[in-house]
Every structure is written in C-alpha cells, then in structure tokens.
Structure 1
Amino acid sequence: MIDRLEKEVDMLERHLRVLRMVIENEPIGIVKMSNETGYPHHKVRYSLRVLEEENLIEPSSQGAITTEDTGDFVDDLDSKIDDIIDKLEGMKIDDMPEIQG
C-alpha cells in the first residue's frame, strides 16, 4: 500500500521536474531533458504527455512550451503540496498505543 504511494510521489516529482525544465528553458525537447535529468527518453515523453493532458504545456516545432494555465498551477502548487503534507502527517501512528502481540 505504501509502496504504491511512494511510486506515485516519485512519478509526480518527475513530472514537476520536467515542468520546471520547460518553464526555465522553453522551448525544450525530450533529448535535452533526458540528458540533463538522467531520466530515460520514454519517462520524459510520458511526463510531457501527462503535462500536456493537464494543459500545462504544449508541443511546438522547437520543443515543449508552457500554456496560459501554467502560471496559475505553479502559483497554487505549494499550497496544495502543504495540504497533502498535512494529511500525511495526520496519518502517522506515532501516538497510537503499542500493539500487544
């Protein structure tokens, strides 16, 4: 159960790293992103597809570029991540009594 969550977080981290590269270097292509991040081409391509489906980037003849929605997403991102961290903190079982076995 936790393994799945960890994989999702890793994938989200990759998507956000790819988005950051597009924001900082637009237009940028798959090969350059792959070389700079160390992610295989197919993983970069998948992240770009996810970001495009979310309307955060779009393809151009020179590479990926941001959209009108990118700025609003980035502005809200820290707040949303903080909300998720709060939820995860609330799931900790540090304060639970010891299990007797």
Structure 2
Amino acid sequence: MIDRLEKEVDMLERHLQVLKMVIENEPIGIVKMSNETGYPHHKVRYSLRVLEEEDLIEPSSQGAITTETTAEFVADLDDKVDEIVDKLDGMKIDEMPEIES
C-alpha cells in the first residue's frame, strides 16, 4: 500500500521536474530534458503527455512551452503540497497500539 504511494510521489516529482525545465528553458525538447535529468526518453515523453493533458504545457515546433494556466498552477503548488504533507502527517501512528494475536 505504501509502496504504491511512494511510486506515485516519485512520478509526480518527475512530472514537476519536467514542468520546471519547460518553465526555465522553453521551448525545450525531449532529448535535452532527458539528457539533463537523466530520465529515459519514454519517461520524459510520458510526463510531457500528462502535463499537456493538464493544460500546463503545449507542444510547439521547437519543443514544449508553457500555457496560460501554468503560472496559476505553480502559484498554488506549494500550498497544495503543504496540505498533502499535513494530511500524511496526520496519518502517522506515533505509538503502535498492542496487537493481539
């Protein structure tokens, strides 16, 4: 159960790293992103597809570029991550109750 969550967080981290590269270097292509991040081309391509479906980037003839909704998403991102972290902190079990077998 926790393994799946960790994989999702890793994938989200990759998506956000790809988005950050687009924001900082637009337009930017898959090959350059793959070389700079160390992620394989197919993983960068998948992240770009997800970001495009979320309307955070769009393709251009020179590479990926941001959209009108990117700035608003980035502005709200830290607060949303903080909310998730707070929720996860609330799930911690500081002292495990005695389990009878």
Give the Cα separation in 1 of the matches to 2:98 and 2:83. 28
Residue number in structure 2 paired with 1:75:
75
Q: If the length of structure 2 is used for normalisation, what is the TM-score?
A: 0.96
Aligned residue type for 2:51? L
Give the aligned length: 101
SS in 2 for 1:9: helix
Give the Cα separation in 2 of the matches to 1:100 and 1:92. 20
Q: If the length of structure 1 is used for normalisation, what is the TM-score?
A: 0.96
Contiguous gaps of at least 5 residues in structure 2: none
Residue number in structure 2 paired with 1:17:
17
Contiguous gaps of at least 5 residues in structure 1: none
Q: Percent of aligned positions with the same letter in both sequences?
A: 85
- Tell me the CA shift for residue 98 of structure 1: 3.6
**Which 10-residue stretch deviates more, 24-33 or 90-99?**
90-99
| Backbone CA RMSD of aligned residues | 1.0
Structure 1 stretches of 4+ moved >4 Å: none
